[in-house]
Structure 1
């Protein structure tokens, strides 16, 4: 199955050489899978939120000192999580893949001619009044021609990133307590492979190393040496991230993490239990090569051969009443079962509980959503999201293991904590907590030229009215099944957004395998010529955070792209299209009545003197997947 990937890092400015490991999903630029089974996408499906309750005291104690609180956004098409950073003065926005297995943060540079088309424009150093190149020094790999430090990253599947190192102000959003900080980052001049084709702009390196954003912030003394991630579940995507310390909930489970054991965040896993029974394994099976590694960039989980066989057999023994079916892709031997139903909250009644036991005796209990992914072709069917790691004895635990789990990487105390929760609700608790500073105090810390707007309308003046919103929605239902109900879907969307159905227009419809990519537009209500900035922000946020509730018959959905058209860009003709149409229609009727014979004569003349138009318009192509 998965094979080890060797990641060579030459960080000019800081001499770094790090060995990478298998990352078997396209969930970051490092996860370009090489082997017989390419990694699949992390399924992010829309169901009612987890009803598990936690004490209010725990939720109110989470925030501790100055830290950066940031949203996470999941990408269904590519299987990764991103967050948003702003670089420079004035700030330039970037969507970066959150990666604990990478130690460098980098974005495409304006000088890059070999960079792909990504979500946001390239970084333009010349437009930032606070940008400075990192000049060559004794501890720096140097470009002798420019005298500037350079970096280079290469991965075994041949994707690469290289460029120069620069230093500038990095802003974390106006929901963060943390002021903008100067930090060194990579400005790409070349990228290849999946780094080139991915939609995200770049990588946010949260690993250990001199160039890591965490190490730089900790060295400045602005945050504690800890950060936390919380990924959404199978039902609700998105999540939250905190750079800096938090007070752990009283029932958080901890595992020791040895910083000397490997260059990655590892835990001391000793046993796995299925349905309360330990797998018959030597505990050393989880200590091979890099040990048991937590990697936010990997989508699924990968076990050494002996552990995978034991786990698979134990799961199948508990599911003898289910029908085993082929996986969604006939090229791969996925282990899938049908007949479980589509309600994620009910899966624990039919699938066994799984426990991961650490050397201190504490255990992390996994729900079915932590080891299963939905079958994309059969409703009510699920497949194992834990795979064999080939010849690599490393145990690699990706995002699936920590769905709806707050993971605290406490680097200061060499431990990693786990707390089962609903990550979509966790963000709200962090945001509205009594210890959260109010908006005025928070933004007052950030100079006005550095304070980016709150998601999702970053960079737009708050008072700018919107003329139209377009968004691309990936729906987990086939074209043939959805097409007869597209009007019904539009009505459900309008009802949930509390807008008039006449405001919702279908622009394009593209089948993608067993899914459908739909391009919609939302226009202002009939009584107004514009959509307020606040309303537009609310609409986009509701989709991005999976808060739009659609009937289960329409499957799951994912917002994969959106755009806004400011009112100023819409012409008088666009704003008054109905009046224009009626005027033209009435004029034509009058003209036809008065000059009927002229039209007949004109028609005959055209038949006698046919012509071909020059540069005839080509029909608009269907929207292609991003």
Structure 2
């Protein structure tokens, strides 16, 4: 198992920090030294809205259970159905290990890709004044470029800077990363697909970040936890959404997902658990039992109620159980397995429990691995498929590992994103319950509509109507820029990998063309996209190591994350099959690189070519204009026929 990032303050008390190594500066991702993995898989009146976002400690009072707060939120209830607004949740699991969504901050809007985290209580982005911030997906937020930005002035409800002029925030996480900065207030926009107009909200403007927050590709965090700085709490307190939000995380093979801010009609077969906000500011469930293959584990229900109880956190990758529950779960799973072989995990630093021989088709895993049920209070059961407790072995094709681990000596149960893959999770904070609905998150909008939920607004590139705009806010950012890159995704310029062959240099050289065509065929790309970078001989004369590069088609500058995911999965899982004439071979050390930037000389030649073409076009246009003008002039000259001219006869002079 790769090192883990747990993006919630709560997890600071749950799991000891795992060692991590800094990624190499050149590649975006290197599989031999993976970056720590975060799973962000797999919330009265006519002006109230619900936002759909399909699938991205201070002294402030973070309690949500005060009488004033609860009464204020209940007063916002209305029998009038609330309209909905939505944004996409984007899958960055392949390269970065998290889910992101897009927010626009300021006037004019500045765009940011934010990690969705139910364990964080503040939303923050890098500030232009940051002295220690990494290089992220988008430019830093510049308050001076926004006409609507206001600093949050120092007051008795917040921690203040050294000059006691502005409120500050600070967050520390379990993997020893941290974020700190000042608090500001500005217009937050949710995109053209959102029916909710831009709203003023308080957010963190980072001046310092450390650890994995420094090296991550995403710009910042979108905090959905319970707390006054949470984006959900701010929208609820402003009376623009109801006190609820939902997340839907994609499955093992299908990424992406959806997020809903505000209320939504729940499906009839949704399973609920009570969630007690008085116990902690994090989202908990009332877990009582675990069943494996229909058999209840011999555990006292109190085992799931130790310390902080059972916490549901989108900022955690896997699931962590108290020691007694983990041992019982592991033994029950292994007892039901037949026809598979236990193997070593992908990372020797961890004692992962892995099995080979199950095949690569996720839809068929239930034939090999047993089903699991979580039983909540009042006997409600949530069925978990194998993809809800397994993750793919990154080095052995058709092998899987348990994604459930022992939570050290901590008696708390922590359920990460893996448990709710392909599950629509509704955080109904107003009624203090969390609902679970098994579904396919890749087409969640159609399913919600069929199940009685509100139909999302149609996608359109036309500007919003006046009812969804404000006088002092710039227009929403465009929906579909040229060569659209899905928000939160990385531009991938090339994928490289090594191939070890039982062939000497001479044989490799003579078969380069055939070998590149075979690789292209196995990776489902064009042969023009496959390039041999280098090959060398290893000690033995019959062994060679070749380095290959897969580039985007010539018509585009980068490949999508989905295309890269398919290519890398085939490389990592042995999906390239060569004829027997190539002997033994092995693929390894795949890397991902961003698109190559043009050099100054290339830019000079490009400008020169453009100028030459423009000059030629202008010259041809001028010549054509002159020619047409001459023709018109000649056609306008008056002339007489020869026969009409009378020439007087002259007498010939004698010789």
The TM-score with structure 1 as length reference comes to 0.71
Q: 1:22 aligns with which of 14, 17, 39?
A: 14
CA 1:435/1:235 → structure 2, altered by over 3 Å: closer, same or farther?
A: closer
| Aligned match of 1:301 | 319
Residues 504-583 of structure 1 mapped to structure 2, 5 A cutoff: 504=529, 520-524=551-555, 540=560, 543=563, 554=575
CA 1:275/1:347 → structure 2, altered by over 3 Å: closer, same or farther?
A: same
CA distance in structure 2 between the partners assigned to 1:412 and 1:249 by the alignment: 18
| Aligned match of 2:296 | 278
CA distance in structure 1 between the partners assigned to 2:548 and 2:163 by the alignment: 47
| Aligned match of 1:443 | 464
Q: Does 1:329 align with 2:321?
A: no
Cα offset, 1:175, TM superposition: 1.5
Is 236-245 or 382-391 further displaced after alignment? 236-245
Residues 39-78 of structure 1 mapped to structure 2, 5 A cutoff: 41=37, 65-78=83-96
| Aligned match of 1:267 | 285
CA distance in structure 2 between the partners assigned to 1:413 and 1:441 by the alignment: 37
The 8 Å contact of residues 131 and 207 in structure 2, kept in 1 or not, is answered as: yes
Cα offset, 1:298, TM superposition: 0.3
| Aligned match of 1:424 | 442
Q: 2:262 aligns with which of 204, 229, 244?
A: 244
| Aligned match of 1:222 | 240
Larger Rg: 2
Cα offset, 1:275, TM superposition: 0.3
CA distance in structure 2 between the partners assigned to 1:160 and 1:154 by the alignment: 4
Cα offset, 1:6, TM superposition: 11
Cα offset, 1:164, TM superposition: 0.5
| Aligned match of 2:645 | none
CA distance in structure 1 between the partners assigned to 2:128 and 2:483 by the alignment: 20
Is 410-419 or 442-451 further displaced after alignment? 442-451
| Aligned match of 1:464 | none
Cα offset, 1:443, TM superposition: 2.7
CA distance in structure 2 between the partners assigned to 1:570 and 1:408 by the alignment: 52
| Aligned match of 1:597 | none
CA distance in structure 2 between the partners assigned to 1:509 and 1:91 by the alignment: 46
Cα offset, 1:453, TM superposition: 2.7
CA distance in structure 2 between the partners assigned to 1:44 and 1:214 by the alignment: 17
The 8 Å contact of residues 471 and 519 in structure 1, kept in 2 or not, is answered as: no
CA distance in structure 2 between the partners assigned to 1:412 and 1:390 by the alignment: 34
CA 1:223/1:470 → structure 2, altered by over 3 Å: closer, same or farther?
A: closer
Cα deviations by residue, 1:284-338 (Å, 9 ceiling, x for unpaired)? 0000111111000100000000000000000011114421111111222111111
The 8 Å contact of residues 100 and 205 in structure 1, kept in 2 or not, is answered as: yes
> Aligned to 2:492, what secondary structure does the other structure show?
strand
Cα offset, 1:547, TM superposition: 12
CA 1:492/1:573 → structure 2, altered by over 3 Å: closer, same or farther?
A: farther
CA distance in structure 2 between the partners assigned to 1:431 and 1:544 by the alignment: 32
Q: 2:427 aligns with which of 391, 409, 421?
A: 409
> Aligned to 1:309, what secondary structure does the other structure show?
helix
Q: Does 1:452 align with 2:477?
A: yes
Is 357-366 or 170-179 further displaced after alignment? 170-179
> Aligned to 1:426, what secondary structure does the other structure show?
helix
The 8 Å contact of residues 23 and 297 in structure 1, kept in 2 or not, is answered as: no
Q: Does 1:178 align with 2:193?
A: no
Residues 114-133 of structure 1 mapped to structure 2, 5 A cutoff: 114-133=132-151
CA 1:438/1:191 → structure 2, altered by over 3 Å: closer, same or farther?
A: closer
List gaps (5 residues or longer) in structure 2.
Answer: 21-33, 42-53, 55-80, 502-507, 536-546, 577-586, 613-655
CA distance in structure 1 between the partners assigned to 2:373 and 2:318 by the alignment: 17
CA distance in structure 2 between the partners assigned to 1:83 and 1:402 by the alignment: 18
Is 206-215 or 135-144 further displaced after alignment? 135-144
Cα offset, 1:65, TM superposition: 2.3
The 8 Å contact of residues 493 and 552 in structure 2, kept in 1 or not, is answered as: no
CA distance in structure 2 between the partners assigned to 1:290 and 1:553 by the alignment: 43
> Aligned to 2:84, what secondary structure does the other structure show?
coil
| Aligned match of 1:33 | none
CA distance in structure 2 between the partners assigned to 1:43 and 1:375 by the alignment: 16
CA distance in structure 2 between the partners assigned to 1:546 and 1:4 by the alignment: 24
What number of residue pairs does the alignment pair up? 513
The 8 Å contact of residues 364 and 418 in structure 1, kept in 2 or not, is answered as: yes
> Aligned to 2:88, what secondary structure does the other structure show?
strand
The 8 Å contact of residues 279 and 310 in structure 1, kept in 2 or not, is answered as: yes
CA distance in structure 2 between the partners assigned to 1:301 and 1:428 by the alignment: 30
Cα offset, 1:23, TM superposition: 6.0
CA distance in structure 2 between the partners assigned to 1:370 and 1:67 by the alignment: 29
CA 1:257/1:119 → structure 2, altered by over 3 Å: closer, same or farther?
A: same
The 8 Å contact of residues 88 and 170 in structure 1, kept in 2 or not, is answered as: yes
CA 1:241/1:492 → structure 2, altered by over 3 Å: closer, same or farther?
A: farther
Q: Does 1:384 align with 2:402?
A: yes
The 8 Å contact of residues 2 and 390 in structure 1, kept in 2 or not, is answered as: no
Cα offset, 1:122, TM superposition: 0.9
The 8 Å contact of residues 43 and 373 in structure 1, kept in 2 or not, is answered as: no
CA 1:509/1:365 → structure 2, altered by over 3 Å: closer, same or farther?
A: farther
CA distance in structure 2 between the partners assigned to 1:142 and 1:43 by the alignment: 33
List gaps (5 residues or longer) in structure 1.
Answer: 10-17, 29-37, 46-58, 461-468, 511-515, 525-530, 581-626
The 8 Å contact of residues 472 and 518 in structure 1, kept in 2 or not, is answered as: no
Q: Does 1:198 align with 2:216?
A: yes
CA 1:6/1:518 → structure 2, altered by over 3 Å: closer, same or farther?
A: closer
CA distance in structure 1 between the partners assigned to 2:37 and 2:116 by the alignment: 16
CA 1:8/1:509 → structure 2, altered by over 3 Å: closer, same or farther?
A: same
| Aligned match of 2:117 | 99
Cα offset, 1:572, TM superposition: 9.2
The 8 Å contact of residues 5 and 316 in structure 2, kept in 1 or not, is answered as: no
> Aligned to 2:155, what secondary structure does the other structure show?
coil
Cα offset, 1:441, TM superposition: 7.3
CA distance in structure 2 between the partners assigned to 1:132 and 1:412 by the alignment: 31
The 8 Å contact of residues 326 and 334 in structure 1, kept in 2 or not, is answered as: yes
Cα offset, 1:77, TM superposition: 3.5
The TM-score with structure 2 as length reference comes to 0.68
The 8 Å contact of residues 246 and 261 in structure 2, kept in 1 or not, is answered as: yes
| Aligned match of 2:185 | 167
Q: RMSD over aligned Cα, in angstroms? A: 4.5
